[in-house]
């Protein structure tokens, strides 16, 4: 029997680490967003994307659920919600 043995050269993005997240994940409410980009800038994983107001989102394939985006949001437009039992798109 064999487990994972080899990998082909690629980007580190191929290694999806979202499974490390426990308990909570950021939920972008898309109500009062002013597109200040603070959440995108502070994310230690660089996994927040978006340009327009009320259109920012976190890529759960990489998000660790640290909550700093929710903390820094001046409009309190990001809520930390309980992790769903299953369903991140890995």
Partner 1 sequence: MKEFVEGSHAVAQIIKACQPGVISAYPITPQTHIVEDLAQLVANGELKAQFVNVESEHSAASVVLGASATGVRVYTATSSQGLFYMQEVVFNIAGMRLPVVMTCANRAISAPINIWNDQQDSVSLRDAGWIQIYAEDNQEAVDFHLIGYRLAEDRRVMLPVMVCMDGFILTHGMETVDLPEQDKVNKFLPNYNPLYKLDPAEPISMGLLADPDYYMETRFAIQETMKASLGYLSEISSEFNTVFGRDYKDLLVQEYQTKDADKVIVAMGSVCGTIKEVVDEQRAKGKKVGLLRIITYRPFPYTRVYEALKDVPRVAVLDKAVSLGAYAPLAVEMKAAFYGKNKGPKVISSFVGGLGGRDITLESIHEVFRRLTAKEVNSDFIDLKPELLKEEYGK
**Is residue 28 within 8 Å of 81, Cβ to Cβ?**
no
Sign of CA dihedral 75, 20, 48, 90: negative
Least distance CB 15 / partner 1 (angstroms): 7
**Closer Cβ to partner 1, 17 or 54, answer by number:** 17
Least distance CB 55 / partner 1 (angstroms): 30
**Closer Cβ to partner 1, 4 or 85, answer by number:** 4
Q: Residues interacting with partner 1, by CB under 8 A? A: 1-9, 15-17, 19-20
29: tokens are 């409410």
**Is residue 49 within 8 Å of 40, Cβ to Cβ?**
yes
């Amino acid at each position: 029997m064999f487990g994972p043995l080899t990998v082909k050269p690629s980007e580190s993005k191929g290694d999806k680490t979202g499974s490390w997240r426990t308990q909570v994940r950021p939920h972008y409410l898309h109500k009062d967003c002013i597109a200040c980009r603070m959440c995108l800038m502070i994310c230690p994983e660089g996994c927040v994307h978006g340009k327009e107001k009320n259109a920012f989102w976190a890529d759960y394939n990489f998000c660790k659920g640290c909550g700093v985006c929710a903390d820094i949001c001046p409009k309190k437009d990001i809520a930390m919600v309980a992790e769903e039992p299953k369903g991140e798109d890995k």
